[in-house]
Amino acid sequence: MAASNEKVNIYVLEYIVFSILSKLPLKSVKRFTCINKHWTLLFENPYFVNMFYNNMVSKYNSLYDEPCFLLSHKNSNWERELYLISGKRIENKLPLNWPRPFIRDPGGYNYPLPFIACSSVNGTICIYDNIDSHSTVVLWNPATDELHIVAEDHDYCVIDGFYDDRDITYTIHGFGYDNVSDDYKIIRYVDYHGKLDTLWDGPSWEIYSLKGNYWDAINVDMPNCCWSKVGVGVHLDGVCHWLGITDSETYVVSFNLSTEVSVTALIPSELFNLKWVDRDLAVLNGHVIMISRYVKTTSFHISISMLGEPGVNESWIKLFDVGPLSDIKRFIGAGEKGDIFFKKDDDELAYLDLTTGVIQNIGVKLHPYHDFSQVVLYKKNILPIGGIKE
């Protein structure tokens, strides 16, 4: 009887410890794991991982009862559409008009192809042209329809008038808010692919300031996006994150918009070696997560890993795997409470609620041959772009 009571007491004590630790931020939990050997294996315990994840989701639900997203995709007529989707079950769809200069002329083909850089920042989204080397960039508030066209400055890249702007590519890597200078900024990668590349000092990086309305070259050495796809980056608390690659490694690159300093974290080795893997970054309740879609035997699985601290390789934790999933074609986007949007084999847009495991169709048919669909988180804000001017 005494032995039985002792086991019950141990179980109750473990439950209390798990309950307390699962409510802490990831960085704090990682610090506690060094206290004893048992705690070092916390994130290998599925019971604790489930408690930790559920607490993160419940915190989100207490702050944001009804999520809103912007859906950007091409329809069967190759026209790029924009929707505001919302509701607890993502059941509401409101069509929106793209801002100029992304409005297509009737019967015209030579028009900018808009893509959204990342989730909204204080109600403002950054849209760029994916056809014309990302050279057309605007900031837009869908709630007020206020539009700011980002200035262009090519003088820095012209040497004796030899360079042709058509040979220069601009790749938007991030958009966010610098709370130190109270400024909105955009980071981009600049490269030249013309015949005079032997005279080119690049590639280089530039940062745009909304306050100053200018681009400025910055001296920083960091990996650029590892593939040309939309939605590769996320913004969180003044830091832009994206997946970057070198000759042999894949990283999460974290660039601080205030200090203009970057750090990198290697992706976990067990995820690097997956077969037929497709990786994307998202934000889950204040943390950067990596969603990996990969093939295991003959079906697709999804692995969710969280980065505890930018630039720290050892701070990764694996939350869980989901699968097998037989009808996922491509990851499209993610919300902050564990909902993953994806394109199904039948080209329907659907989302997977990780808290319930339920997959639900949105009611939108995506283009069968065009994979540049996006779903980004949107939080309405009626303040002017850049805040209230004095």
Residue pLDDT, tens place only, 302-325: 888 889 889 999 888 888 777 777
Show me where the domains of the chain are located: 9-13+15-53, 59-378
Question: Which pLDDT band, with edges at 50, 70 and 90, does 52 fall under?
Answer: confident
Candidates 99, 187, 80; CA nearest to 148 is 99
The Cα–Cα gap between 386 and 150 comes to 13
Percent of the chain residues topping a pLDDT of 90: 18
Question: Quick check: 144 pLDDT over 60?
Answer: yes
Residue 222: strand, helix, or coil = coil
Contacts 24+ apart (CB under 8 A), 277-282: 278/330, 278/331, 279/243, 279/250, 280/231, 280/232, 280/243, 280/331, 280/334, 281/232, 281/233, 281/234, 281/241, 281/242, 281/243, 281/252, 282/234, 282/333, 282/334, 282/340
> What band does 265 get if pLDDT is binned at 50, 70 and 90?
very high
pLDDT tens-digit series, residues 71-86 = 888 777 777 889 998 8
Percent of the chain clearing pLDDT 70 (strictly above): 73
In the chain, the amino acid numbered 222 is M
Both tokens of 77, joined, read: 């007529």
| β-pair type (250-256, 146-149) | unpaired
Query: Per-residue pLDDT for 385 more than 80?
Result: yes
One-letter amino acid of 16: I
Predicted pLDDT at 275: 55
59-378 has CATH 3.30.365.10 classification: no
